[in-house]
Structure 1
């Protein structure tokens, strides 16, 4: 599986490098009248991809954080229940009845 992931990232990197080499030209971005930002096209595209990726990444990280906290809570509850069950079993150890002990 790691080979596929590595291959994907290598392919994506190669595509990004090819795009950058083929489109290394200045682009004028009019932010509002009187303010123009001149940048290279690959920087603009990479910046847009990163800005678009940020919300998805934040949702992923918060979901993982929330689920890991939930798993930790469930594991500690399960451990407490197991400890209580073990204590209940050990406190109810059977004692032999007196008439059977004499036999």
Structure 2
């Protein structure tokens, strides 16, 4: 799976390199009325890509951290439950029997 991810990233970088080669033109981006940024097209594309990637990457990291915490908590609960059941005394055989019924309406008549 690691090789597939590496191939995808290499293809994305190669595509960005080809795009940059053919579109190395300066553009003016007006951010505010009197604040104009002059940059190249590939830099603008790269910044837009990173601005779109960053929120999803942060969400992924937060979800992964939360799930790791939950899994660790559940593993600890299972581990402590297994340890407590191992150290508790086993139930005695005499306590499993039920005493005879003294109800006069019982089906066996006792």
TM, length-normalised to structure 2: 0.78
The farther-off stretch of 52-61 and 6-15 is 6-15
Q: Is it true that 1:67 corresponds to 2:67 in the alignment? A: yes
Highest Rg: 1 or 2? Answer: 2
Instruction: Give the distance between the partners of 1:17 and 1:26, measured in 2 at CA.
Output: 16
The match for 2:107 is none
Deviation for aligned residue 1:34: 1.6
User: Structure 1 unaligned runs (5+)?
Assistant: 95-103
The farther-off stretch of 31-40 and 78-87 is 31-40
The match for 1:101 is none
Computed over aligned residues only, the root mean square deviation of the Cα atoms, in angstroms, reads 1.4
Q: Is it true that 1:25 corresponds to 2:36 in the alignment? A: no
The match for 2:79 is 79
- For residue 24 of structure 2, give the secondary structure of its aligned residue in structure 1: coil
- For residue 29 of structure 1, give the secondary structure of its aligned residue in structure 2: strand
Residue deviations 1:32-89 (CA, integer Å, cap 9, x gap): 222111011101110010011111011100000000000010000000000011011x
The structure in which a higher percent of residues are helix is: 1
- For residue 31 of structure 2, give the secondary structure of its aligned residue in structure 1: strand
Q: Is it true that 1:54 corresponds to 2:44 in the alignment? A: no
- For residue 24 of structure 1, give the secondary structure of its aligned residue in structure 2: coil
Instruction: Give the distance between the partners of 1:78 and 1:3, measured in 2 at CA.
Output: 36
Q: Runs in 1 of length 4+ with deviation above 6 angstroms? A: none
User: Structure 2 unaligned runs (5+)?
Assistant: 93-110
TM, length-normalised to structure 1: 0.83
